[in-house]
Structure 1
Amino acid sequence: MLEEIGSIIKYHRQKSGLTQLELATLAGIGKAAVYDMEHKTKSTRMDTLIKVLKVLNIDVKFASPLMKAYEEQKREESEDIRPK
């Protein structure tokens, strides 16, 4: 899975016409961090990954057998918080 994330980032970066340095600059991170993500040479902090995904306009979706129940619970909780 981690290799696939790196591959997805590299694909989107290249299709966007960005160099690793340009992507790093736009995301506010170092060029080495982009290289490491694309080549899975080191683990990446979640906040760094999110910065890169935002620049590349990549949306992350969580999927599990429990997601529908989780989303329903969050919806109910938000309705309980609303002023009446």
Structure 2
Amino acid sequence: MSKTAIKSYSLAEMKDKYIGKKGTKDRDQYEYELRMDILGRMIKTARQERKLTQEQLGELVGVQKAQISKLESSANSATIDTVLKVFKALKADIHFNVTIEKQYLQLV
């Protein structure tokens, strides 16, 4: 009785196969949504660490509780200005990294 080797795949290979290769519309959309989800989770985690409710954070930022809720669940509709105000209200630093044609830029 011989054992059949099981082929394993990396996460990158699975994404290439089922979502699309890097640079394709579907893959770019997936990566964007993933980053926005992570950003929302970071906001929620920072808010909870500061022991603030969504309503309290909204008051500090000047927006309604519903906007904080939307931001935490998916930051897709947030403007950069709103995101910066939220992190400022949370007394949290935010850094942006930009790569342009393999040249790395960091905005602090």
How many angstroms does 1:66 deviate by? 3.1
How many angstroms does 1:42 deviate by? 5.2
- Decide whether aligned partners of structure 1 residues 51 and 41 sit closer, same or farther in structure 2, where only a CA change above 3 A counts: closer
Q: How does 1:27-38 map to 2 (within 5 A)?
A: 27-38=61-72
Instruction: Pick the structure with greater CA Rg.
Output: 2
Give the TM-score normalised by the residue count of structure 1.
0.71
Which has a greater percent of strand? 2
Q: Quick one: percent identity of the two aligned structures?
A: 33
Which has a greater percent of helix? 1
Give structure 2 stretches of 5+ with no counterpart: 1-34
Q: Which 4+ residue blocks in structure 1 deviate beyond 3 angstroms?
A: none
Tell whether 2:104 aligns with 1:66: yes
Deviations 1:28-82 (A, max 9, x none): 11111100111117511221111101011222222233327x9xxxxxxxxxxxx
Q: 1:16 aligns with which of 50, 55, 68?
A: 50
Flag the structure with more relative contact order, 1 or 2, with Cα contacts below 8 A and sequence separation at least 6: 1
Give the TM-score normalised by the residue count of structure 2.
0.57
**What is the aligned partner in structure 1 of residue 26 from structure 2?**
none
